[in-house]
């Protein structure tokens, strides 16, 4: 082709593409990414709000997700799909870009949460009834594995603290049998299970460190936590903080603390003390207690900002109208906020400039600036609880 003809052809092609692009954009909304999106659980109505954090707005409401009274969420590898674990045993797949329900299966009678595999191909659900873990294909929601939680005592146990780790593995605890299991899903059809028994009385929840190395289960039946080093599982489960609260009168537990909030900084772990008005500080190298921070009530979520400078804490009833902020260097409470009745959950924007709070009994989500502590936005929501942003898609254990 001669150069003059080539230039004429190229100009025509570019004009044609420009016209086509104009038609596409005029006929539908411009394409967008999902990096600033997330969902808010509306627990009373079985629905979720699809939100975006740049303009702090609600984009869509997706209904028909069943009982969301203890719902949690994980994300697909690309952040487009939210997998919602309902208390009624429902596993729902929500498409954030279309604001629609992309799939749903009733996989059990009572569920408590779940996790997604390292490669994003498998989603695992922790079940109370029947006890155990069920594994599903993330594309089709077809079940690929079933792991009954039958403990060493022969009883079927409720499963709690299900976390994803590296090496295509899941880690979880058996509440009734006092065990921790590692499930290797490199061959989903034949999971390889490693079991640890007598880890402590009634593990109620767990967290995994951001690098996937350390799994920590809280114990409801006694003081302390159970620690498993996944780099060296042959060393077995180690008991840590088994002295905290010893000799003191135990108070009533108004709400179980949630450990999967990640109160981890570079050197320290901040943990909610069971039934006490304290946040425990633990050294991440020695796993020994190095301090406590008195707080206004029984802590539920103890969550570190993305930069690790501050820890935000919410509380069980009757103190659940408060939120307190702990300064990590000084290890002191530097701010107490009173957003409204029943602050259920907190979630930081990806870089931590804002934090979103669900104020359940005010039917509202509040957005606070993490430097000035000023409330900068309010969004209407029906009995909101968990808030989950797509940044979780690229983090272990969230």
Average pLDDT over residues 339-347: 97
In a domain, residue 349? The reply is no
In a domain, residue 307? The reply is no
In a domain, residue 194? The reply is yes
Q: Which of 351, 353, 338, 339 has the alpha carbon at shortest distance from 384?
A: 339
Per-residue b/e over 204-214, b at no fewer than 16 CB within 10 Å? bbbbbbeebeb
Residue 183 belongs to domain with CATH number:
2.130.10.10
In the chain, the percentage of residues whose pLDDT exceeds 90 is: 84
* Confidence (pLDDT) at 248: 66
**H or E segment at 305?**
none
Structural domain count of the chain: 1
In a domain, residue 136? The reply is yes
* Confidence (pLDDT) at 266: 83
In a domain, residue 326? The reply is no
Window from 11-25, 79-93, 255-269, 356-370 with minimum mean pLDDT: 11-25
Give, as one character, the DSSP assignment of residue 19: H
* Confidence (pLDDT) at 264: 86
Residue 134 near residue 125, CB atoms below 8 Å: yes
Say if residue 155's pLDDT is above 50: yes
* Confidence (pLDDT) at 84: 98
* Confidence (pLDDT) at 277: 95
- Could you report the per-residue pLDDT of 176-199, keeping only the tens digit for each? 999 999 999 999 999 999 999 999
In a domain, residue 161? The reply is yes
In a domain, residue 16? The reply is no
Say if residue 30's pLDDT is above 80: no
Cα distance between the two ends of the chain: 56
* Confidence (pLDDT) at 261: 63
Q: Which of 256, 244, 250, 233 has the alpha carbon at shortest distance from 287?
A: 244
- Could you report the per-residue pLDDT of 213-225, keeping only the tens digit for each? 999 999 999 889 9
In a domain, residue 4? The reply is no
Average pLDDT over residues 143-160: 96
Q: Which of 164, 76, 63, 156 has the alpha carbon at shortest distance from 113?
A: 164
**What residue numbers bound the domain in which 112 lies?**
107-242
Say if residue 61's pLDDT is above 90: yes
Instruction: Quickly list DSSP for 1-59.
Output: --HHHHHHHHHHHHHHHHHHHHHHHHHSPPP--STTEEEEEETTTTEEEEEETTTTEEE
Say if residue 138's pLDDT is above 50: yes
Window from 124-138, 190-204, 241-255, 322-336 with minimum mean pLDDT: 241-255
> What CA–CA distance (Å, rounded) separates 216 from 284?
12
């Amino acid at each position: 082709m001669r150069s003059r003809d080539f230039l004429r052809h190229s100009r025509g092609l570019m004009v044609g593409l420009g016209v086509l692009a104009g038609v596409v954009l005029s006929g539908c909304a411009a394409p967008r990414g999902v990096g600033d999106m997330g969902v808010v659980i509306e627990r009373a109505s079985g629905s979720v709000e699809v939100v975006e954090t740049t303009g702090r707005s609600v984009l869509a409401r997706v209904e028909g997700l069943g009982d969301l009274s203890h719902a949690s969420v994980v994300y697909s590898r690309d952040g487009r799909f939210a997998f919602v674990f309902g208390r009624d045993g429902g596993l729902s797949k929500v498409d954030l870009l279309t604001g629609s329900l992309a799939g749903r299966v009733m996989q059990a009678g009572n569920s408590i949460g779940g996790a997604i595999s390292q490669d994003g191909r498998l989603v695992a659900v922790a079940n109370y009834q029947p006890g155990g873990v069920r594994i599903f294909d993330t594309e089709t929601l077809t079940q690929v594995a079933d792991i009954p939680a039958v403990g060493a005592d022969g009883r079927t146990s409720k499963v709690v603290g299900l976390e994803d780790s590296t090496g295509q593995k899941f880690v979880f605890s058996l509440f009734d049998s006092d065990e921790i299991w590692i499930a290797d899903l490199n061959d989903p059809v034949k999971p390889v299970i490693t079991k640890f028994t007598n880890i402590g009385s009634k593990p109620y929840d767990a967290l995994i460190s951001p690098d996937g190395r350390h799994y920590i289960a809280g114990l409801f039946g006694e003081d302390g936590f159970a620690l498993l080093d996944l780099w060296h599982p042959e060393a077995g489960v180690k008991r840590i903080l088994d002295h905290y609260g010893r000799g003191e009168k135990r108070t009533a537990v108004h709400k179980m603390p949630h450990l999967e909030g990640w109160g981890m900084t570079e050197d320290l772990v901040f943990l909610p003390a069971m039934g006490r008005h304290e946040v425990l500080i633990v050294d991440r190298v020695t796993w020994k207690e190095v301090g406590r921070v008195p707080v206004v009530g029984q802590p539920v979520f103890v969550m570190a900002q993305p930069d690790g400078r501050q820890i935000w804490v919410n509380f069980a009833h009757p103190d659940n109208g408060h939120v307190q902020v702990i300064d990590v260097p000084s290890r002191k409470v530097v701010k107490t906020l009173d957003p409204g009745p029943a602050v259920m959950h907190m979630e930081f924007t990806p870089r931590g400039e804002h934090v979103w709070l669900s104020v359940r009994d005010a039917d509202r989500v509040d957005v606070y600036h993490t430097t000035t502590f000023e409330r900068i936005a309010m969004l209407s929501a029906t009995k909101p609880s968990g808030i989950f942003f797509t940044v979780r898609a690229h983090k272990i254990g969230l």
